[in-house]
Amino acid sequence: CLANTAEKTIEQAAESEEKKPPALLSYKKIIEWLVRQKSRIEKIVINGIISEANNLEIEWKKLLRSAEDDEWENDVKL
């Protein structure tokens, strides 16, 4: 699940970050620009994974709560 989320997030990040380096930059400046682009994409990917993990944690807590309230037993019988 998280692997799929990471893959989708990487694709979205790449699409949103599709920018060309500014023209007429030195080699050093182009490398610096590429490093910044990579850093932005990594942040987007990490935020997407954290968001998905938080959603999974919320679902897990709901399941635990229903199990503690004996709702689990009722759900299984249905």
As averages over each run of 10 residues, the pLDDT of the chain (78 residues) reads 62 62 75 84 88 90 81 56
Residue 29 lies in a domain: no
Domain tally, the chain:
1
Query: Is the residue at 78 inside a domain?
Result: yes
Note the pLDDT of residue 5: 63
Q: What is the pLDDT of residue 18?
A: 58
Q: What number of other Cβ atoms are within 10 A of residue 14's Cβ?
A: 13
The pLDDT of residue 35 is 86
Q: Does 27 map to a domain?
A: no
Q: Is residue 73 included in any domain, yes or no?
A: yes
**Which amino acid belongs to residue 36?**
R
- At 28 the three-state DSSP class reads helix
**Structural domain range at position 5:** 1-13+46-78
Asked whether the beta carbons of 37 and 15 are under 8 A apart, the reply is no
